[in-house]
Amino acid sequence: MKIIDPLLDEGFKLVFGREHVSEPLLLKLLNSIFAGDPELGNIVSLRFTNTEHPNEQIGGRGLRYDITCTTSSGHKFIVEMQKGEQKHLIERSEYYVSRAIASQGFKGKDEENHNWDFSLTPVVGVFICNFKVPGLEEDLLTYGGICNLRTGKPIGRSQCYAYIQLPYFRKEEEECESLLDKWIFNIKYMGIRQSVAFKADNEIFNYLDNVSSVAALNSDDRHLYESALRYARDYNAIMATAKEKAEAEGMQRGLQKGMQEGELKEKYRIAREMLQQGVSRDFICNITKLTMEDIESLL
C-alpha cells in the first residue's frame, strides 16, 4: 500500500486535514464543489480549526468532526467522509451543522462590551458518502439549505449543505472534464488504483500524489493509518463472511440478526485488541463506532 485511501476516515483526514500540509488540497476541493457560487466557491485561503465539540451537559458525549476549517469567505466548513451506510445521514448532518451554529451563542457581553445579537458565522456541511443516501435524489451532488418551499429561493445562508453520493459517479478517467470530476475520480479510486490521476493536467494533483504517499508519513501517522487500514480490512472480511453464511441459510431474519450480532462481536474484539496495544479511546471510537461508554466497559 503506497497511496493513502481517502475513503477511510483516517485516510481522508491525513490527505485533506493535516495542518500546514493539506490546506491547498482542501481549498481546491471546496472551490470545485461550490464552483459558480460567488460566496462559497471563491475561497482564497483557509485555516484548520478544532474538530472537538464538547457536550454542554455534564456527562454527555461531545462531537468529533472529521475536518473543520474557517475560510477567507467568512464561513465555517465541516467536511466529513462517510464510508459506512447510515439510515439517518441527513438528520445526522443537520445535527452536526446545528451544533456548530448553536455553539456560537454566548451569554453576557463580549470583549468589546457587546451583547450577542444573533449574528452568526455561516456553517457549511460537506458530506462525501460512499453509499446512496436515503432521502436524496439519485444525483452525484446535492446542495441544500433553508429555502422558501413555494419558490425554492434561499432564506438566509446561516447553514448550507453539500452531499456527494459516490455510487452515482460512474465516469471513466478519460470522461472526466471538470475539476470536480477529477477530484471525485481520485477520491473514489486512488486507493484502489494506488495512483493519482490527472497529474499532467493540474499541478494540484501532483501535490495530491505527494501528500498521499504512505512512505512520506511520519511514524505516528503511518502507524495510525496502517492500523485503520488493517482493522477496516478485518471488519469488512468478517462482515462479508457473516453475510455469506446467513444468505446460505436462506433466512432473511437470520441474515439481519446474524450480521448485527456478528458486527457487534467483532467491534468489541477489535476494540479489546486496540486497547491492549495502547491505542487511544477516541481513535477506537472512530474506527469501531462504539460509544465511549462501550469502550470503558471493556476496561
Asked whether residue 93 is domain-assigned, the answer is: yes
* 128: β partners: 81, 164
Q: How far is CA 158 from CA 30, 109, 161, 282, in A?
A: 18, 22, 11, 30
Domain match, 140 and 210 both: yes
Domain match, 227 and 138 both: no
- Cα 288 to its chain centre, rounded Å, is 15
Domain match, 32 and 167 both: yes
Asked whether residue 1 is domain-assigned, the answer is: no
- Least reliable range by pLDDT among 146-160, 173-187, 257-271: 257-271
Using the 3D structure, point to which of 216, 247, 280 is the last residue of a domain: 216
Measure the CA–CA gap between 61 and 144, rounded to whole angstroms: 27
User: Sign of the C-alpha dihedral, residues 182, 81, 2, 267?
Assistant: negative
Pairing of strands 123-129, 159-165: parallel
Domain match, 103 and 174 both: yes
Using the 3D structure, point to which of 167, 185, 216 is the last residue of a domain: 216
Reduced to 3 states, what is the DSSP secondary structure of residue 282?
helix
- Cβ neighbors of 223 (< 8 A, separation 6 or more) are none
Q: Are 235 and 270 in contact (CB under 8 A)?
A: yes
Q: Are 96 and 118 in contact (CB under 8 A)?
A: no
pLDDT at 117 > cutoff 90:
no
Count: domains in the chain = 2
pLDDT at 190 > cutoff 50:
yes
pLDDT of residue 211: 95
pLDDT: which is higher, 180 or 216: 180
Q: What percent of the chain has pLDDT over 90?
A: 47
Domain match, 224 and 282 both: yes
Domain match, 33 and 81 both: yes
Asked whether residue 3 is domain-assigned, the answer is: no
Domain match, 249 and 289 both: yes
Measure the CA–CA gap between 15 and 212, rounded to whole angstroms: 6
Asked whether residue 106 is domain-assigned, the answer is: yes
Using the 3D structure, point to which of 216, 249, 274 is the last residue of a domain: 216
Domain match, 226 and 165 both: no
> Which runs of consecutive H residues, i.e. helices, occur in the chain?
9-16, 23-33, 89-102, 179-193, 203-211, 219-249, 252-276, 281-288, 292-297
pLDDT: which is higher, 205 or 245: 205
Confidence grade of residue 136 (pLDDT, cut at 50, 70, 90) = very high
Asked whether residue 59 is domain-assigned, the answer is: yes
Q: Which strands sit side by side in the sheet containing 67-71, from one edge to the other?
A: 46-48, 67-71, 76-82, 123-129, 159-165, 141-145
Asked whether residue 4 is domain-assigned, the answer is: no
Domain match, 86 and 202 both: yes
Domain match, 211 and 229 both: no
pLDDT of residue 236: 66
Question: pLDDT tens digits for 219-230?
Answer: 888 888 887 777
Asked whether residue 193 is domain-assigned, the answer is: yes
Cell digits for 3?
Answer: 497511496
pLDDT of residue 254: 53
Domain match, 162 and 40 both: yes
pLDDT at 110 > cutoff 60:
no
Q: Average of pLDDT values for 175-181?
A: 96
Confidence grade of residue 57 (pLDDT, cut at 50, 70, 90) = very low
pLDDT at 58 > cutoff 50:
no
pLDDT of residue 75: 94
Reduced to 3 states, what is the DSSP secondary structure of residue 109?
strand
Domain match, 260 and 205 both: no
Asked whether residue 90 is domain-assigned, the answer is: yes
Q: Average of pLDDT values for 186-197?
A: 95
Question: Which domain covers residue 158, as residue numbers?
Answer: 9-216
pLDDT of residue 290: 81
